[in-house]
Amino acid sequence: MQPWQIIAEHIAQVTGTPFDPLEPRHIGGGCINTAVRLMDGGRGYFVKLNSASLIDMFEAESDGLQAMSETETIRVPKSLCSGIADGQSYLVMEYIDMGHAGRDGSAKAGRQLAEMHRANWTSYGWHRDNTIGSTPQPNSPNDSWIDFWREQRLGFQLNLAERNGYGGSLRRGGERLLEGFHALIDHQPQPSLLHGDLWGGNMAYDPEGNPVIYDPAVYYGDREADLAMTELFGGFGNAFYDAYRESWPLEPGYSTRKVLYNLYHILNHLNLFGSGYLGQASSMIDRLLAEI
Ligand code: ADP
C-alpha cells in the first residue's frame, strides 16, 4: 500500500469521516522534513514525513503542539495523528493557509505569546525529551533554571560540538563560560511554557490575520529564551516587542541573557549545519566571558 493510503486511512479513522485524497502537493520552507498538503475536495491536512527512526521526534512535536494549543492563546495547528507508513514516519496536522501579518497582526502576536508564557509548571524542563531541528533536546525536570540551562542546553550542545570536531578553543571558552555561569545569570524566572524554536520561519498568519506558531521544541523555561530567539535571525518588528512588553515587561539584564540564550541556537546550528556558525559561536562566548 502507498504511504498516502495508509495515512489517509489513519486520518479517516481519527476524524470518523472517510478521506480519499488527491495527489499530495509538496510544500517547501522546512529545514528538516519533507512536507506535503493532502487534500480531498474539501478537507486539507499538513503532513510531515521523515525516516521511520524519527517517529519519536514527530510524537514529541505532536505533544508540543498539543501543549501550546491547550493554552488557547496563540493559534497552533491542531495535531491529528502520527505513525509509520511504508518505512517512513509521519505527523498529520490541520492545514492552515499561511500568510503575512495584516494590520495589528504583529501586536496581536506579541500579546498572545505573552499570554501563552503565563502557562507554567513546577520545574524547568518537560515531561519528555524532544528535538531542536533534528538535534536531541534533553528536558529532564530541574528546579534550578541556571543548572538546567548550563547542563541541558549549553553543556549538551558543547559536548555535541566536540564530538562533531569543534573542540579546541570553542571547548575551552565554553568550559570557562560554564564555570563562570552564576556571575552572568542570577535569575529564577517562572517556568513558562515556551515554543522553544521561535525564529521567523516558525510563525505566520492565518487568513483572518491571526498569528500561528508551529514546528516547536517545547519545554518550560525562561520566557526570555523565546523572545531572544525571535531576535536572532531578523526580529519580529517593534509592534510585536512593544505589545509583548506592555502585556508582560521584561526584567533588567535581558540584553546579556539574550546572548546566553541565543548561544544555544547558534551552537545547535553549528552542530546541524557545520562550520559556517563557528565564528559566531566563538564571538558570542567571548562576549559573555568579557562580562564575567
Ligand atoms: P520543518 O520541520 O521541516 O522545519 P516546518 O514545520 O517548519 O518544517 O514546516 C515547513 C513549512 O510549511 C513552514 O515554513 C510553513 O510555511 C508551512 N507549514 C507549517 N505548518 C503548516 C500547517 N499546519 N499548515 C500549512 N502550512 C504549514
| Greater model confidence, 143 or 292 | 143
pLDDT attached to residue 259: 97
Clarify whether residues 219 and 243 are in a common domain. Answer: yes
Catalytic residue (one of 197, 215, 222, 226): 197
Domain that residue 64 falls in = 3-94
* Alpha carbon separation from 66 to 13, 97, 204, 214, 280 (Å, rounded): 19, 19, 18, 11, 34
In degrees rounded to 5, what are phi and psi of residue 27? -120, 130
Would you say residue 99 lies in a domain? no
**Separation of CA 150 and ligand 1 centre (Å):** 30
Q: What is the whole-number distance in angstroms between the Cα of residue 189 and the centre of ligand 1?
A: 30
Boundary-marking domain end, from 94, 114, 130: 94
175 SS3 class: helix
Question: Does 88 fall in a domain?
Answer: yes
pTM: 0.96
Q: Which three cell numbers stand for residue 176?
A: 570557562
Q: What is the pLDDT of residues 216-263, one digit of tens each?
A: 999 999 999 999 999 999 899 999 999 999 999 999 999 999 999 999
* pLDDT for the residue 41: 85
Both 56 and 12 in one domain: the answer is: yes
What is the phi/psi pair of residue 110, to 5°? -60, -45
Cα–Cα dist 163/199, whole Å: 26
| Residue where a domain terminates, one of 63, 94, 125 | 94
Question: Ligand 1, residues 74, 203, 214, 233: which to mutate, most atoms within 8 A of Cβ?
Answer: 214
Q: Is 197 a catalytic residue?
A: yes
State yes or no: pLDDT of 267 exceeds 80: yes
Predicted confidence (pLDDT) per residue in 58-96, tens digit: 999 999 999 999 999 999 999 999 999 999 999 999 999
- My answer on whether 202 and 159 are in the same domain is yes
The residue to mutate among 93, 98, 137, 268, having the most atoms of ligand 1 within 8 angstroms of its beta carbon, is 98
Split at pLDDT 50, 70, 90, the class of 31 is confident
Give me the CATH number covering residue 34. 3.30.200.20
Question: How many domains does the chain divide into?
Answer: 2
Distance 253 CA to ligand 1 centre (A): 34
226 lines ligand 1 (CB under 6 A): no
Among 94, 126, 157, the domain boundary falls at 94
